[in-house]
Every structure is written in structure tokens, then in C-alpha cells.
Amino acid sequence: MKRKRIGVLTAGGDTPALNATIWGIVEEANRRDTEVLGLMRGYASLLGEQVPAVLLNPLFSSIPELDSCAGGTILGSSRTYIEPDSVEMSRARSNLQRLELDGLICVGGDGTINGMQPLTEITPCVLAPKTIDNDLGLNYSEEATDWVFDTDSGQSKLVPSREHIQPADIINYATPGFATSVFVVVQSIDRIRTTAESHRRIAVVEVMGRKSGYIALGSAYAQPDFILIPEVPLDLDALEQQVRRLYEIQEHVVIVVGEGVRLPDGTELGAAEQTHDPAGNIKFSGAADALVGLLRKRMGSECFDRIRSGEPAEAAFFTRKIGHTQRGGRPIQFDRFYGSRIGGKAMELVAAGDSNQVATLQYTDETGFHFSSLPAHRLRDSRGTIHARTLHPTMYDAGRMQMSDFGRDYLHPIFSNAIGWDDVEFIREETFGGGNLTRRFQSANVDVGKRVRLL
Ligand code: F6P
């Protein structure tokens, strides 16, 4: 009997948990005597004359380059997507048919689901979620249909029909990649805090997340003084007042700002540029700098005179954009464990012939974390659009510009056991053990590249 062959690709922005998810897929496939063909650089792999691909489990054991503890993806990624009824689509169709796949697992976020949709006509496709932004999912099962389209502005707006939610209501509680990203953010803020404290400065730290404030929410573990999220329009008067008051007391302030934060008129604080991503994803930059510009103008220099005697008021502020460090490097225990398990779940679904399904990580207080799945269309609103999941209003306290009690209840299950002893120990043993001084960095791209075949 012919053995089953499943394809896997990673698409969109990378996360630290991608290799863990691929590893989970391959381990589950090994148990099922199924071949796994890794397609290189996401959907871009399907657009050429031939498909660059690597067999991830020759003789049903994983290739050694597949390390669940390594960040990034050995398959490479791209933000290339395939439009239905396009030339690319017919190329992808014939390539997929030639590969004789029994299914395809796409590891990605909302943009990846849109890219996957047309391919479901050719082979069963399942999504294994990943995104550091934690924006793939729903706060409650009917949330997608609560998006209302306003014809005047041409924009959709979420009008939540559920005032309160429970952890068990959340579809896809946390996405592999998110926990490591928060870990990096928290460590960065800890370090920024002490320098702001010593030099009596106001630090504004910009974190990723696009239109979703989950990473900003997670920064609460570093105890920033204020957390500003994209979901709640910025109240500059209130912020200025609270910053002034706190600066007087503790002589420094730390503010975290989610990159997509908006002014009350809806405009983004940082410059926003449209990307080519069919999910309509927008690239933000400059929210922290823009916020400092506004605060500086409002606060003037008097409030710094006493505390920073003689030093220019402008120097009292500094910004730090944590940037791509929050998306890279070694995944922490939570992401390794649940990233690989969700890969296994996706493999299970595709092996059962399910198509256009999303593997999900669920949580209830009674059972802890467990896995489930959801038809991808349940994430779409009445117009067929998938919106980034945003923080439910009960997760944030807009008055204090801080995480709310429910926000804390939400984070607790993820982070109470997210970090393994080896997440810290590897720095001592691996990074500073001495070996790095005697050998060059060895990129998986080189070793995996030797295994790539054009099929
Ligand atoms: O979606 C993940 C993400 O890291 C966002 O948080 C961020 O806005 C964006 O990707 C950055 O994209 P790029 O890698 O193209 O700069």
C-alpha cells in the first residue's frame, strides 16, 4: 500500500515556536508511517516550475536539523500568498497535484488561512496556528459575527455581544510564539527600568502586536507604570496627568506602548503602511517616538528642573523599540511544549481527512490546557473577513492604563509554568560556556539547503 505523504509549510512572520511545531508534526507522522515533505519558504514554494522541498523524515525519523529548541523555521518563511483564480493558483494547483500530497499543513496566522483557503480545493489543508501577536482566535465563539461593516467609513467595527467572558469561552487561548515574545519583552523592560530609574528618565517602550494588545498586556510581568494598547484610544490628558504625578513621586516612569496604538480620531500614532498581505495586515512603526513627541510638547521642561537639574528636558525621555528580538531566538518551555503538541494535533486532523480546519489550544480551569479544532470559516465575519483577535474589554483597565483583574486571570495559566530551568541554564552552558568563541555560527539554512530537492 502506498504510504501517505503530507506537506508542511510555514508562512507569514516567523515566531520562536515554528520549529517546535514542525517537530510535533513530524513526530506524529513518524508514529503513523507518514512521509512529511517540507515546502521551502511558505506559499512561494508552490509558484515556480518546480517545488523546493525537503523530506523531513527519511526512514520515519526526523532529520537532525529539526531542533524543537531552535527559533525560526528550517523551512524558511515568506509573506507570499495565493489569490484564488489567479495564474499563481493554477501553478500551485499543478505543483500540488504533481507532489501527490494527501494533505497540507500550513503553519501560520490569519493571512496564512486566507492563503490556504483556495488550496483546500486541491488537497485537505489544516492550519497549525502561530503568531507572536496572539491575535488568531476568538474571545467567544460568536465573536466573528459581531464585526459590523460601516458603509460610510468602509471600515468594520467590533461590537462585542458578550460583556463578560470566561477562560473556557476563548477559542485558541494562546498561540505558540506569544509566550516567548512576552518573555523577551519582560526581560527587556526589566533592564530598561533600572536605567530609567538611575537617570531619572521617562522610558517609552514599543512592543509588537499590530492591532492587538496581547504582547503589551503580557508586559505587565515587568510592572511597567502604564500600558497603552491599540484597542483603547489614547487619552493624552489623562496620560500626561498620571505621568506628571508619578514622575514627581518616583522620579522616573516606564510606559509600554503597543505599536498599533490609536488617537481618539482613530488615526494610528505611529506611521502605518499597508503591506501586501491579503489579510490586510498593516505595518506600524514609530508609536513610541510619536508619543514622546506629544508628551514632550505638553510637559515642557519645568517638571524636570528639580529632578534633572540643568540637564535638557528633551533628554529626560528615551524610546526603545524591542523590535524583532521579540520574534526570534530560542522558544521557552510553553512554546516548545504546546507548539509541538499543536503540530501533532494538526497532523491528526489532516490524517483524518479534515480540511479547512484550524487546530486550537483551549483552556479551562478544570482541565487545564487541551487541544481542539475549529472550521476556519468560523473565524470569518459576515463578509468573509478574518479580523485580528483584539483584547476583550474586560482584560484591560483603561482608567489605570493597566491590565485588569481578568487580564491577570487570563495571563496566569500561560505563564505560571511557562519557563523551564533549561531556558535559563542554556545561557550559562551554551551561550557563555566557551564553545561559541571557538566555532562560527552554523546556519540550519546551509545543512537543510543540502537536503532540498526540486520536485
Ligand atoms: O505579525 C507579527 C509581527 O511581528 C507584528 O507584530 C509586526 O507588526 C510585524 O510582524 C512585523 O513585520 P516585519 O517582519 O515584516 O517587519
Question: How is 46-68 classified by DSSP, letter by letter?
Answer: GSSSS-EEEES-GGGS--TT--T
CA 389 – ligand 1 centroid, Å: 15
CA 434 – ligand 1 centroid, Å: 33
CA 13 – ligand 1 centroid, Å: 6
Q: What is the mean pLDDT of the chain?
A: 93
* Other Cβ atoms within 10 Å of 388 Cβ, number: 23
pLDDT of residue 421: 94
What average pLDDT does the segment 163-189 reach?
97
* Separation between Cα atoms, residue 91 and residue 88, nearest integer Å: 5
pLDDT of residue 277: 60
Burial call 136-153: b when 16+ CB within 10 Å, e when fewer: bbbbbeebbebbeeeeee
Question: Is residue 85 predicted with pLDDT exceeding 90?
Answer: no
pLDDT of residue 314: 81
Residues 6+ apart with CB under 8 A from 282: 210, 211, 260, 268, 272, 273, 274, 275
Of 454, 351, 455, 451, the residue nearest 35 (C-alpha)? 351
pLDDT of residue 113: 92
Residues 6+ apart with CB under 8 A from 325: 184, 188
**Of 14, 102, 110, 133, which residue is the catalytic one?**
133
If one residue of 14, 283, 284 were mutated to test the ligand 1 pocket, choosing by the most ligand atoms within 8 A of its CB, it would be 283
Of 40, 123, 47, 106, the residue nearest 74 (C-alpha)? 40
Q: Do strands 253-258 and 202-207 pair parallel, antiparallel, or not at all (unpaired)?
A: parallel
CA 287 – ligand 1 centroid, Å: 14
Q: What percent of the chain has pLDDT over 70?
A: 98
Q: Among this protein's residues, is 405 annotated catalytic? A: no
What average pLDDT does the segment 376-400 reach?
96
CA 335 – ligand 1 centroid, Å: 18
Burial call 169-187: b when 16+ CB within 10 Å, e when fewer: bbbbbbbbbbbbbbbbbbe
Q: From atom 13 of ligand 1, which residue's Cα is the shortest distance away?
A: 13
- Helix, strand, coil % in the chain, rounded to nearest 5: 40, 20, 40
Q: Which atom of ligand 1 is nearest to the CA of 260?
A: 8
Mean pLDDT comparison of 110-119, 210-219, 423-432, highest-scoring range: 210-219
Out of 157-161, 272-276, 362-366, 444-448, least confident range: 272-276
Per residue in 69-83, pLDDT (tens digit) is 999 999 999 988 888
Q: Which atom of ligand 1 is nearest to the CA of 79?
A: 15
CB of 369 within 8 A of CB of 173? yes
Q: Which atom of ligand 1 is nearest to the CA of 282?
A: 8
pLDDT of residue 83: 82
3 state SS of 373? strand
- Binding-site residues, ligand 1, Cβ < 6 A: 13, 131-133, 208-210, 259, 283-284, 327
Question: Is residue 278 predicted with pLDDT exceeding 60?
Answer: no
* Separation between Cα atoms, residue 165 and residue 443, nearest integer Å: 44
Distances (CA, A) of 309 to 26, 313, 346: 62, 10, 60
Residues 6+ apart with CB under 8 A from 292: 202, 204, 317, 318, 319
What average pLDDT does the segment 307-331 reach?
89
C-alpha 94 chain-centroid distance: 32
Domains of the chain, each with CATH number or no CATH: 5-140+331-388+420-449 (3.40.50.450), 182-326 (3.40.50.460)
Whose grid coordinates read 530609574? 197
Q: Which atom of ligand 1 is nearest to the CA of 133?
A: 6
pLDDT of residue 148: 94
pTM for the full model? 0.95
- Confidence band of 220 (pLDDT split at 50, 70, 90): very high
Q: From atom 16 of ligand 1, which residue's Cα is the shortest distance away?
A: 283
Q: For residue 34, count CB atoms less than 10 angstroms from its CB and return exposed for 0-12, middle for 13-18, buried for 19 or more.
A: buried
Q: What percent of the chain has pLDDT over 90?
A: 82
Q: From atom 2 of ligand 1, which residue's Cα is the shortest distance away?
A: 13
CB of 369 within 8 A of CB of 139? no
CA 173 – ligand 1 centroid, Å: 20
Question: Is residue 328 predicted with pLDDT exceeding 80?
Answer: yes
Q: Which atom of ligand 1 is nearest to the CA of 283?
A: 8
Of 190, 231, 188, 191, the residue nearest 206 (C-alpha)? 188
